[in-house]
Amino acid sequence: ATFNAPIAGVFFAVEIILMGEMDLAVFSPIVISSATAVVFTRLIYGKDAFFSVPEFILSSNWELFIYVVMGVIIGVLAVFFIRFFYWVQDFFQDLSVPFWLKPIMGGFLIGVIGLVFPQVMGDVYPYMGEVLQKSTIWYVVLPLIFMKMLATSITMGSGGAGGLFAPILFMGTMIGETCGGLGHIFLPAVVISYDGYAIVAMGAFLSAVTHAPMTSIFLAYELTGDYQIILPAMFATVIGTLIARSLEREGIDTYGLAREGIHLESGREVNVLRSITVGDIMVSGPIETIPEEMKLKTILQFLPRSRNTTFPVVDRDRLLTGILSIQDIRELVYEQGLEELIVAKELAATQVITVTVEDNLDNALKKIGYRNIDYLPVVAKDNPRQIVGMVSRQDIISAYNRTLLDRDLQEKATTKSP
């Protein structure tokens, strides 16, 4: 509705949210919702999108080769942005500072960026419209690409609120304006008007980052209403997406899950993790625990005999008081004279993240990812200190893959049956 592009909206839902699943029961409401949203938007704001788009001009077929080159550039930059975005998230997650301080640090850095490059702050659509209407010098918009990448990554990584759709479109617009401007300088006889590059790159970069090519092609067409843009959009979008997928299999929406060992493929049930409870897969047999008064010397003798790397620390009533991992005592292994002085209670982390048998695996995996740990204690629902089992990251991943395999076998059996 924002861009008066109902077809692009439908494909956005299918490619990104449904991951290619074309179920008529779901597809029909999406079409109706997209069309209804556009109708009401046009009744209130008119037929123009949030910014006006110039007439698209393709000077000659030779210009298509420049769109091909731009597609390659877009593919490389898309992969860079995906990896940089999650690198910044990891950076803030690993910072040894109170969690409430991270958004403050992020806000300060964003403020510094905003002082020098105010174009990347807040509502970016007005400036995008300005760039589309006026041919902007390439070296003015070039730094905005990377400043927007930095600002978006810091905002999300430090715990701030925001989305990715508008920033991605902004970056794509600046990439296209830069490529078109440079093409006009070096090949003025071929690239006569280069504002169209920004429109094409806007969608192509969205496709390369999210792996949603149909959305991007229809977005470019619906923004301009000019069939001439289809070929340039197809070249830049498809090539950019192919380059991005060859360098990085996952789009920005699934990259984080892939790092956890979860690969959501097209046509797969995205709610698999939510359909399995912790109680279905947890280890409930004899649980290796460490008494809180156990000395470091005894702990060091105990660890080599265990296959686990994380242990619940319990009191005399076997109630949970903390969690101890090998990483917590690694630095003390070679310290002399401490073996008889330090006990488990002093080493254990007391702010323990736990789950219950009724929690689903999606919730458990989020907690594991938040603390970057391998095991979670499972506690009784009516007593958060009573341990009833343990669940590991590998248990969750194995259960997910096993469920998908079972579904595949059932589907194949159903298909083969007369």
- Give the confidence band of 267 by pLDDT, cuts at 50, 70, 90: very low
Angle at 183 between CA 59 and CA 84, to 5 degrees: 125
pLDDT tens digit sequence for 183-237: 888 888 777 777 788 889 988 999 999 888 888 888 877 777 777 888 888 999 9
User: What is this structure's pTM?
Assistant: 0.60
User: Is pLDDT at 262 greater than 70 in this prediction?
Assistant: no
Across-strand partners of 392?
A: 375
Residue 18 confidence (pLDDT): 59
Mean of pLDDT over the chain:
81
pLDDT reading at 269 higher than 70: no
CB atoms within 10 A of CB 345: 17
Model pLDDT, residue 25: 60
Closest-CA residue to 226 (of 56, 62, 4) = 56
Q: Which residues, 6 or more positions from 84, have their beta carbon under 8 angstroms from its beta carbon? A: 149, 153
pLDDT digits (tens, 9 = 90+) for 114-172: 999 988 888 788 888 888 877 677 788 899 999 999 999 999 888 776 778 889 989 99
**pLDDT confidence band for 263 (50 / 70 / 90):** low
Name the residue ranges covered by the structural domains of the chain.
49-259, 273-401
Q: What is the pLDDT of residues 407-416, one digit of tens each?
A: 777 766 765 5
Tokens of 246: 């060859």
Unique residue bearing structure tokens 């401490």: 338
Instruction: List, in order, residues 6 or more apart from 303 with CB less than 8 Å away.
Output: 326
Residue 283 exposed, middle or buried by CB count within 10 Å (0-12, 13-18, 19+): middle
Residues near 98 by Cβ (< 8 Å), separated by ≥ 6? none
Exposure b/e, 105-137, CB count within 10 A at least 16 = b:
ebeeebeebeeebebbbeebbebbbebbeebbe
- Confidence at residue 268, expressed as pLDDT on a 0 to 100 scale: 52
Report the pLDDT averaged over residues 376-404. 88
For the cut 70, the answer to whether the pLDDT of residue 77 exceeds it is: yes
pLDDT score at 45? 66
Do 382 and 374 touch, CB atoms closer than 8 A?
A: no
Residue 338 carries which side chain, given as an amino acid letter?
Answer: L
For residue 291, the SS3 value is strand
Q: How far is Cα 318 from Cα 400, in angstroms, rounded to an integer?
A: 31
Looking at per-residue pLDDT, the higher value among 347 and 43 belongs to 347
CATH class of 273-401: alpha beta
Joined together, the tokens standing for residue 339 give 């073996």
CATH architecture of 49-259: Orthogonal Bundle (1.10)
Contact 310, 387 (CB under 8 A): no
- H helix count then E strand count, the chain: 17, 6
Grade residue 46 by pLDDT with cuts at 50, 70 and 90.
low
75 or 213, greater pLDDT:
75
> How, if at all, do strands 290-291 and 310-314 pair?
parallel
Percent of the chain exceeding pLDDT 90 equals 21
Who has greater pLDDT, 44 or 36? Answer: 36
Residues 6+ apart with CB under 8 A from 199: 53, 56, 132, 173, 176, 220, 223, 224, 229
The yes-or-no verdict on residue 72 having pLDDT over 90 is yes
- pLDDT of 19 higher than 70: no
pLDDT tens digits along 59-69: 778 888 999 99
